[in-house]
Amino acid sequence: MSAVMLAPELEDRLAALREAGWELFDKFDHEVRDRRWHPFVAANYESVLEALIARRAPGLTFLEWGSATGVITIMADLLGYEAYGIELDASLVETARALAERFDSKARFVAGSFLPEGYEWKPRDGDGRLGTIGQGRSGYLELGKALDEFDVVFGYPWAGEEAMMHDLMRCYGGRDARLMVHGTDRGVEVYRDGKKED
């Protein structure tokens, strides 16, 4: 686990949460992904947990873009962040809410898109396709918070989608906010104002 010592009770709760998360993913894999393509692939929860522990501070708000079964948002809540998740697949949102209840977590989840209303991805090369990122009603209104109200934002983009996440933060993110990106092969990287932190 991380070099930072957590209370043993919290360590146990987080370990049980990760285990429950992998059980949910295995079930989803068999029941959904074996039948049709779906963008949900679970992150490396250990690596994300380490990044969350390293950045935690009292009163920080956290948002997960595409929160799926909710494991990461719930981890953030258990670590003391005020934590929220937005997920396009409403059935995954139900799963996340049930998991939060099971772990006595205050993490909140809404069904919708993490793309703010009216956002358009316009890269320099002109190819504004969104890849696996789906379209739907923006989730911020129901959340009651705008993107610039979050201190830490987490996203797990598929290959080629990371630049859009940086653009979203540049256009709508808070000035001092951090973007935590789970790369497909580089582990978790943290950016502030577009620059990678150590």
Ligand X SMILES: C[S@@+](CC[C@H](N)C(=O)[O-])C[C@H]1O[C@@H](n2cnc3c(N)ncnc32)[C@H](O)[C@@H]1O
The residue ranges that bind ligand X (CB under 6 A) are: 39-43, 64, 66-68, 72, 86-89, 92, 113-115, 133-134, 156, 182
Give the nearer residue to ligand X in terms of CB position, either 177 or 180.
Answer: 180
Contact 47, 182 (CB under 8 A): yes
Residue 101 C-beta: closest distance to ligand X, Å: 19
Give the nearer residue to ligand X in terms of CB position, either 8 or 68.
Answer: 68
Give the nearer residue to ligand X in terms of CB position, either 60 or 143.
Answer: 143
Beta strands in the chain (DSSP E): 61-65, 82-87, 108-111, 152-155, 178-182, 188-192, 195-196
Residue 5 C-beta: closest distance to ligand X, Å: 25
Give the nearer residue to ligand X in terms of CB position, either 5 or 78.
Answer: 78
Residue nearest to ligand X (CB): 66
Q: 191 by DSSP, 3-state: which?
A: strand
Contact 69, 91 (CB under 8 A): no
Beta strands in 78-128 (DSSP E): 82-87, 108-111
Residue 8 C-beta: closest distance to ligand X, Å: 25
